[in-house]
Amino acid sequence: MSAIKTPPPNKLLTFGLVSSWYSSNIGVLLLNKYLLTNYGFKYPIFLTMCHMSSCALLSYIAIAWLKMVPLQVIRSRVQFVKISALSLIFCASVVSGNVSLRYLPVSFNQAVGATTPFFTAVFAYVMTLKMETWLTYVTLVPVVTGVVIASGAISCHFNAL
Q: Do residues 129 and 151 both lie within one domain?
A: yes
Q: Where in the sequence is the domain holding 119, given as residue range(s)? A: 105-161
Q: Do residues 35 and 89 both lie within one domain?
A: yes
The closest of 45, 158, 25 to 104, measured between CA atoms, is 158
Domain assignment present for 142: yes
Q: Do residues 62 and 94 both lie within one domain?
A: yes
Q: What is the pTM of this model?
A: 0.67
Instruction: List C-alpha distances in Å: 153 to 32, 111, 112, 148, 157.
Output: 24, 11, 13, 9, 6
Q: Do residues 118 and 63 both lie within one domain?
A: no
Q: Do residues 144 and 125 both lie within one domain?
A: yes
Query: How many angstroms separate the CA atoms of 124 and 14, rounded?
Result: 28
Q: Give Cβ neighbours of residue 5 (< 8 Å, ≥ 6 apart).
A: none
Q: Do residues 97 and 18 both lie within one domain?
A: yes
Domain assignment present for 4: no
Q: Do residues 76 and 31 both lie within one domain?
A: yes
Domain assignment present for 153: yes
- What is the predicted pLDDT for the residue at 158? 56
Amino acid at 131: M
DSSP 117: H
Report mean pLDDT in 10-residue bins for the chain, 161 residues: 63 88 88 86 88 91 90 94 93 88 83 84 88 88 84 61 56
Q: Do residues 120 and 159 both lie within one domain?
A: yes
- What is the predicted pLDDT for the residue at 57? 95
Q: Do residues 84 and 97 both lie within one domain?
A: yes
- What is the predicted pLDDT for the residue at 154? 57
Are 151 and 112 within 8 A, CB to CB? yes
Domain assignment present for 3: no
Q: Do residues 60 and 139 both lie within one domain?
A: no
Query: How many angstroms separate the CA atoms of 77 and 29, rounded?
Result: 35
Query: How many angstroms separate the CA atoms of 59 and 94, rounded?
Result: 18
- What is the predicted pLDDT for the residue at 111? 80
Instruction: List C-alpha distances in Å: 117 to 120, 142, 143, 144, 159.
Output: 5, 12, 9, 9, 29
Which of 86, 103, 120 is the C-terminal boundary of a domain?
103
- What is the predicted pLDDT for the residue at 3? 57
The closest of 57, 50, 36 to 109, measured between CA atoms, is 36
Domain count, the chain: 2
